[in-house]
């Protein structure tokens, strides 16, 4: 009885300090986030900084929800990329499209969700909950995308990572001219060699403009086969080189699955020996009992081979709004982990795919 009691009462005593006005994010997370989802955020911050950001770990992030128009690309994601804390990304196309507004010097404003959308429409103002911007912001960004993808270098099939890297280069050039450097995530990923994929290339204004240009004879297409193989090869390369793979899932949806399906692609489809991602950290407000992927737990992912079952203690789900949790995670990581050398995985895509192809063909040829 006594030993059993000690087993369950071995955690630290709940006795937080009084909150002070000069507390750092780390002090708040470590000292005050003592229970409930605050405690899950503390566990997630520790997992991210202490394990996922170890030198031998390759970290992927998936992005859903309107993060970039809310400024979270500038405030959080770009600092994480520049510190070498995010090695590759899967995002909704909408986040990448709205991200370009900032690099192009276009303005988004604080607003209120409690207004007449009929009046906003009549005034030519677009609303994303409490974010307002002129309709011309969309038209100007569309015009930029169409002008860029007219270039000869875009007249071919490519992965979404290649499309976003090339777009990022043009945005980076505009940033230099406009003095907006450091505001665009895809421009920062271009500079850092971080490949950025989207799981649904046609489901955003970038894809819509690519489709429009196809009507005028453009040869640009986004090849999903390249995306599936490149993302799987990144994970396979990380694991077979003796490293680990960590996933930071912000929200859920299609990007979450596209990021996690890399392991079933390696194990189930290609038939290569693997056990799953090593580290899993998700911030979500979705419930698991409705059956949606956004709420699916890491233990459920084990049944698919997406997560290494031996690593379930290194899996944390934080039930919170990403716009609250992400700044705290970012501040905690930057305060508690030195910047890492950039892996520049974008530059290594062909090498990594070739290595996975060789392993796959060797297995197939060796199959009776």
pLDDT tens-digit series, residues 97-106: 999 999 999 9
Residue 16 within any structural domain of the chain:
no
Q: How many Cβ atoms sit within 10 Å of the Cβ of residue 198? A: 29
Residue among 239, 244, 256, 306 flagged as catalytic: 306
Unique residue bearing structure tokens 């062909």:
350
The CATH number of residue 56's host domain is 3.40.910.10
Residue 268 within any structural domain of the chain:
yes
Residue 205 within any structural domain of the chain:
yes
Q: Name the nearest CA neighbour of 235 among 200, 260, 215, 202.
A: 260
* Buried-state track 311-331, b at ≥16 Cβ within 10 A, e below 16: beebbbbbbbebbebbebbbb
- Strand 57-63 to strand 88-91: parallel, antiparallel, or no bridges (unpaired)? parallel
Domain count, the chain: 1
pTM for the model stands at 0.93
Is residue 241 over pLDDT 70? yes
Answer yes or no: are the C-beta atoms of 57 and 277 closer than 8 Å: no
pLDDT tens-digit series, residues 111-155: 999 999 999 999 999 999 999 999 999 999 999 999 999 999 999
Q: Name the nearest CA neighbour of 308 among 270, 273, 258.
A: 273
Residue 343 within any structural domain of the chain:
yes
Told to judge if 306 belongs to the known catalytic residues of this protein, a careful annotator would answer yes
Residue 201 within any structural domain of the chain:
yes
Q: How many Cβ atoms sit within 10 Å of the Cβ of residue 298? A: 24
Q: Look up residue 303 and give its two tokens.
A: 């049944």
Give residue 115's pLDDT. Answer: 96
Q: How far is CA 40 from CA 27, 186, 194, in A?
A: 16, 30, 28
The DSSP secondary-structure symbol of 48 reads: I
Q: How many Cβ atoms sit within 10 Å of the Cβ of residue 162? A: 23
Give residue 307's pLDDT. Answer: 63
Residue 25 within any structural domain of the chain:
no
**How far, in Å, CA of 198 to CA of 215, rounded?**
22
Answer yes or no: are the C-beta atoms of 40 and 66 closer than 8 Å: no
- Residue 348 is part of which domain span? 33-365
pLDDT tens-digit series, residues 252-310: 899 999 999 999 999 999 999 988 899 999 999 867 766 666 666 666 666 666 666 66
Residue 14 within any structural domain of the chain:
no
**How far, in Å, CA of 134 to CA of 280, rounded?**
38
Q: How far is CA 66 from CA 70, 94, 192, 323, in A?
A: 7, 8, 23, 9
Residue 148 within any structural domain of the chain:
yes
């Amino acid at each position: 009885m006594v030993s059993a009691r000690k087993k369950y009462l071995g955690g630290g005593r709940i006795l937080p300090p009084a909150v002070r006005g000069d507390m750092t994010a780390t002090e708040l997370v470590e000292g005050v986030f003592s229970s409930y989802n605050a405690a899950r955020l503390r566990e997630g911050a520790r997992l991210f900084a202490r394990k996922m950001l170890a030198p031998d770990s390759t970290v992927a992030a998936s992005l859903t929800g309107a993060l970039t128009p809310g400024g979270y690309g500038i405030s959080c994601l770009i600092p994480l990329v520049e510190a070498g804390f995010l090695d590759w990304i899967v995002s909704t196309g909408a986040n990448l499209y709205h991200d370009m507004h900032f690099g192009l010097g276009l303005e988004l404003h604080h607003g209120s969700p409690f207004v007449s959308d009929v009046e906003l429409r009549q005034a030519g103002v677009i609303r994303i909950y409490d974010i307002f911007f002129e309709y011309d912001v969309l038209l100007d960004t569309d015009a930029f995308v169409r002008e860029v993808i007219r270039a000869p270098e875009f007249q071919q099939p490519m992965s979404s990572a290649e499309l976003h890297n090339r777009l990022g280069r043009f945005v980076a050039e505009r940033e230099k001219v406009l003095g907006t450097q450091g505001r665009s995530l895809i421009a920062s990923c271009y500079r850092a060699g971080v490949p950025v994929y989207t799981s649904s290339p046609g489901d955003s204004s970038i894809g819509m403009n690519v489709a429009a240009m196809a009507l005028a004879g453009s040869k640009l297409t986004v090849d999903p086969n390249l995306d599936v193989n490149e993302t799987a090869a990144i994970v396979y390369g990380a694991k077979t080189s003796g490293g680990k793979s960590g996933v930071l899932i912000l929200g859920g949806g299609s990007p979450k699955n596209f990021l996690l399906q890399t392991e079933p692609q390696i194990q189930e489809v290609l038939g290569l020996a693997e056990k799953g991602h090593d580290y899993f950290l998700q911030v979500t407000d979705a419930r698991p009992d409705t059956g949606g992927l956004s709420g699916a737990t890491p233990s459920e992912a084990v049944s698919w081979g997406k997560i290494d079952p031996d690593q379930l203690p290194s899996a944390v789900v934080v039930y919170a709004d990403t716009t609250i949790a992400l700044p705290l995670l970012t501040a905690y990581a930057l305060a508690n982990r030195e910047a890492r050398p950039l892996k520049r995985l974008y530059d290594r895509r062909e090498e990594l795919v070739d290595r996975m192809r060789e392993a796959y063909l060797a297995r197939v040829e060796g199959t009776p």
